[in-house]
Structure 1
Amino acid sequence: MQEIRPFPKEEGLENGLSVLREGYLYVPNRLKIYQSDAVKTRLLGQEAILLGGEEAAELFYDEDKFKREGAAPEPAVATLLGKGGVQQIDDEAHRHRKKLFMDLMSKERIEIWAKLVEKHLYMATKEWITKDSINFYEESQKVLTKAACEWCGVPLKNKEVEKRTKQLISMIESPVAVSKRHIEGRIGRKQGEKWIADLIDQVRNGELHPVEETALYQISWHQELNGEKMDLKTAAVELLNVIRPSVAIALYFAFTALTLQQFPEEKSNLNGDNPYYLHMFIQEIRRYYPFFPFNGAITRKDFVWNGYQFEKDTLAIFDFYGTNHDPRIWEDPDQFKPERFSDWHQSPTDQIQFKLVAQGGGSYASGHRCPGEWNTVRAMEIVTDFLVNKIDYTLPEQDSGFSLVNMPTTPKSGMIFENIQLKG
């Protein structure tokens, strides 16, 4: 029988303020202080277990031991996630709903997505070259809103782009924000769900006819396990669960521009003889820079792991950022080294399920790893090639540093470009 040992425990009746003060480093700091992959604390008025590392990732994504229903805090549901989406359901209902998302990610559809991202980058550049400067992060948001809506079959007029982009970004940037920024996220969520629900209603009423392969069509007519269509609100949440993460890639676009500024020698590597280097470069950006910091789940039952007794209905928080910088997984984790991915010849592969966890871990089909990871990688490949080979630009003096307290974070300047020109 396995010997039971007590969890290391952070003192305090409520440590939520420490999360706000430390941001991405809150969980890795606790795991380092207590020299453990599992530490007890109190968050949001309840006991919680902080987890990090490859072995803990395998535990956290074990569907037999953890569930997602009820794990997301209300502020995240009211802004980022929406109520009743695929991230918050379990078991057969989750697998059935997840198949809907997986079916959207065929190779053909992913390549259509890539072409749309490239198209809207070129279209935006025609405007950029007429300006003295642009904020690349903000411009990327609009590019991706246009590409995501077109890919999903969602009609979007030019005069709507700013409005819809603002709504989508407010959802992304507000889950752990305070005051005005968080309120904007709640408003953006309500407005966004109404926008999408109206479109789905039009599809069901025969007023709108999207292409069958698109997310708008598939989600509008998706049947749940009981054979009935999703209610309008849930369907809107799920379509936003395609569009919103697609726009969140703007965070990575800004970090891609920052990488090319910080490591200019990479440009020659990207134009070198190794056709796989672009993929290595993208994966290293996703590992090296922060995206979303952590995720939550709730224990389904009592069990023992590594000598620690987990009790049923306990909140667990798994650390993405710290795991992507864990020296037990990554040699020299604080150095930018794309070559570390030289033997990872596909994305995703089995070997990255619990190592590279920028967008979750485990299985796509049966678990809670984000299926949009494929679209993320392709969009980043497109924008990297675009910045290196398709346009010229200069970077004025600016504060391109980023905060590990803000969640999510991005370069403070947004990456300002000047003197933009198309090559050739």
Structure 2
Amino acid sequence: MDAHRRPLMDRTPALLVEGYAWLPDRMRDSTRSVLRTRLLGRPALAVRGPDAVRFFYDESHVHRHGAIPAPVLDTLFGQGAVHTLDGVAHRTRKELFLPLLEAGRVARLTEHVTEAWDEAVRSWSGRERVVLFDEAAVVLTRGVCEWAGVPPRAVDPQTLARDLVAMVDGFATPGPRHLRARRARTRQETRMAGLIEEVRSGEVAAPEDSVLERVARHRDTGQGPLDPRTAAVELLNVLRPTVAVSWFVAFAAHALHRWPAHRERLRAGDAAFATAFAHEVRRFYPFAPFLGGRTVTELTWHGESVPAGGILLLDVYGQHHDEELWGDPYTFRPERFLDRPPGPDELIPQGGGDPAAGHRCPGERVTVGLLEALAVRLARLECTVPAQDLRIPLRRVPTRPRSGFVVTGVRAP
């Protein structure tokens, strides 16, 4: 048998052990940025690079329906979520989200979050120790719930923040973190489904054209309103990714601690630099290791093939640290994005392609806007960073600074 076509060993156990390095390490020896492997019992083809991003997001190549493993649906996205749909069904469901993410609405969300941040900082000044990751999650929860029209009586920000963080933290790992994520999703889907029913019955008045009101009245093509559980899933798919920005806030604090020279331009309110800094945080620090989809037909990329029903993987972490794309990928250098904005198929922490028609996360603009604003506030934060474990383990997915980034002696402005 041709050695090139011998049955491939399933690499799922290695992925669970190696984390972010699993795919880049195996692709390092490839001169064509492509790799044949086996994952979750299926043949898989891993690709990388802007051309590969366009190949990956071609709907004639890859479908999401049936591609996302059940453990990920049961924790991160939710059963029946927009992420599981394709074609017309996907575009129709996505219309629920796109108007919410126009520039004016993103600006209002940023205002709600920064007001919550400024209020929180005043309370931190009386505390001995503050874990920025945890506090950022609560701040983001308060801000996004107010913006989304979720009534204060319906949620406890501390509990909701903890559950939304758990959904993200446990999607990619077995064990206690995964069990916490499942329990958190069940708890919040039940709570939000009840809220949807209260809105529909008139018991709760949702602000006109708010996220809550839009989710409650949305109809897929040729169907009635979403069932309460699916509506709850989609409401959480606005709240959860916003609160996931807490990962990037912790990374931004880590970057400012390691490279404090960047503080001056952020403190001065240099808007262009704040945008470049946000992009570099999203590129440099690890979040999604890769993206995957189920192949519709046999696909060939740079001479390597995967059959229909296999898996096509897009190496996100490897692409963000590709020397051909970035020149000095392991140097944290926001200035690279002052020279030119990132190409849509180069920087892909929220996916690639067209957010209006494809599977790129429409919330990317929210992530960038919030990170710009909060990076400026982090640069202006008067505090002490005590000795702590700031290592970022690449075996943990999703990872973050081990300490959560602790600060002491916060001085209110």
**How high is the TM-score relative to the length of structure 2?**
0.95
User: What is the deviation of 1:79?
Assistant: 0.6
User: What is the deviation of 1:210?
Assistant: 1.3
Determine the C-alpha separation between the residues in 2 that align with 1:119 and 1:315.
44
Kindly report which structure 2 residues correspond to 1:4-19, keeping only aligned pairs within 5 A, or say none.
13-19=9-15
User: What is the deviation of 1:26?
Assistant: 0.9
**Would you say 1:125 and 2:121 are equivalent positions?**
yes
Corresponding residue for residue 73 of structure 1: 69
Give the one of 95, 98, 114 matched to 1:99: 95
Determine the C-alpha separation between the residues in 2 that align with 1:220 and 1:355.
36
Cα distance change of structure 1 residues 162 and 10 upon mapping to structure 2, 3 Å threshold: farther
User: What is the deviation of 1:158?
Assistant: 9.7
**Would you say 1:371 and 2:362 are equivalent positions?**
yes
Letter paired with 1:187: R
Kindly report which structure 2 residues correspond to 1:354-393, keeping only aligned pairs within 5 A, or say none.
354-389=345-380, 391-393=381-383
Determine the C-alpha separation between the residues in 1 that align with 2:122 and 2:277.
27
* CA deviation vs aligned residue, 1:329-365 (integer Å, no higher than 9, x gap): 11101001111111435xxxxx622100111111101
Determine the C-alpha separation between the residues in 2 that align with 1:306 and 1:15.
22
Provide the identity percentage. Answer: 34
* CA deviation vs aligned residue, 1:356-411 (integer Å, no higher than 9, x gap): 0111111101111111111111111111111223x311100111110111000111
User: What is the deviation of 1:8?
Assistant: 6.2
Corresponding residue for residue 33 of structure 1: 29
Give the one of 243, 246, 252 matched to 2:248: 252
SS at match of 1:144: helix
Kindly report which structure 2 residues correspond to 1:382-421, keeping only aligned pairs within 5 A, or say none.
382-389=373-380, 391-421=381-411
Report if the CA contact (8 A) 2:35-2:45 is conserved. Answer: yes
Poorly superposed stretches of 4+, deviation over 4 Å: 6-12, 271-274
Gaps of 5+ in 1: 1-5, 346-350
Determine the C-alpha separation between the residues in 1 that align with 2:231 and 2:405.
35
Kindly report which structure 2 residues correspond to 1:200-279, keeping only aligned pairs within 5 A, or say none.
200-271=196-267, 275-279=271-275
Corresponding residue for residue 301 of structure 1: 297
User: What is the deviation of 1:160?
Assistant: 1.6
User: What is the deviation of 1:310?
Assistant: 3.6
Determine the C-alpha separation between the residues in 2 that align with 1:164 and 1:415.
21
Cα distance change of structure 1 residues 130 and 217 upon mapping to structure 2, 3 Å threshold: same
User: What is the deviation of 1:36?
Assistant: 3.6
Letter paired with 2:281: I
**Would you say 1:179 and 2:175 are equivalent positions?**
yes
SS at match of 2:171: coil
User: What is the deviation of 1:59?
Assistant: 0.8
**Would you say 1:316 and 2:300 are equivalent positions?**
no
Cα distance change of structure 1 residues 191 and 274 upon mapping to structure 2, 3 Å threshold: closer
Cα distance change of structure 1 residues 42 and 304 upon mapping to structure 2, 3 Å threshold: closer
Give the one of 71, 82, 87 matched to 1:86: 82
Report if the CA contact (8 A) 1:53-1:322 is conserved. Answer: no
User: What is the deviation of 1:272?
Assistant: 5.6
Letter paired with 2:176: K
Determine the C-alpha separation between the residues in 2 that align with 1:7 and 1:216.
56
Kindly report which structure 2 residues correspond to 1:274-289, keeping only aligned pairs within 5 A, or say none.
275-289=271-285
Give the one of 139, 146, 170 matched to 2:142: 146
**Would you say 1:422 and 2:408 are equivalent positions?**
no
Q: Size of the alignment, in residue pairs?
A: 412
Letter paired with 1:204: R
SS at match of 1:223: coil
**How high is the TM-score relative to the length of structure 1?**
0.93
SS at match of 2:327: coil
SS at match of 1:190: helix
Determine the C-alpha separation between the residues in 2 that align with 1:132 and 1:382.
25
**Would you say 1:337 and 2:327 are equivalent positions?**
no
Report if the CA contact (8 A) 2:43-2:310 is conserved. Answer: yes
Report if the CA contact (8 A) 1:58-1:354 is conserved. Answer: yes
Corresponding residue for residue 344 of structure 2: 353
Cα distance change of structure 1 residues 133 and 178 upon mapping to structure 2, 3 Å threshold: same
Cα distance change of structure 1 residues 73 and 9 upon mapping to structure 2, 3 Å threshold: farther
Report if the CA contact (8 A) 1:8-1:39 is conserved. Answer: no
User: What is the deviation of 1:37?
Assistant: 2.2
Corresponding residue for residue 113 of structure 1: 109
Determine the C-alpha separation between the residues in 2 that align with 1:369 and 1:225.
21
RMSD over equivalenced CA pairs, Å: 1.9
Determine the C-alpha separation between the residues in 2 that align with 1:73 and 1:319.
18
Report if the CA contact (8 A) 1:47-1:315 is conserved. Answer: yes
Determine the C-alpha separation between the residues in 1 that align with 2:33 and 2:238.
32
Gaps of 5+ in 2: none
Report if the CA contact (8 A) 1:80-1:172 is conserved. Answer: yes
Determine the C-alpha separation between the residues in 2 that align with 1:205 and 1:157.
17
Greater Cα shift, 242-251 or 300-309: 300-309
Determine the C-alpha separation between the residues in 2 that align with 1:76 and 1:140.
24
Give the one of 63, 72, 76 matched to 2:59: 63
Determine the C-alpha separation between the residues in 2 that align with 1:7 and 1:263.
48
SS at match of 1:154: coil
Determine the C-alpha separation between the residues in 1 that align with 2:388 and 2:162.
24
Corresponding residue for residue 188 of structure 1: 184
Corresponding residue for residue 3 of structure 1: none
Determine the C-alpha separation between the residues in 1 that align with 2:404 and 2:165.
14
* CA deviation vs aligned residue, 1:174-226 (integer Å, no higher than 9, x gap): 01222111111111111111111011111111111111221111011011101
* CA deviation vs aligned residue, 1:30-85 (integer Å, no higher than 9, x gap): 11134442222221122222222222111111122111111111110111111111
Report if the CA contact (8 A) 1:12-1:42 is conserved. Answer: yes
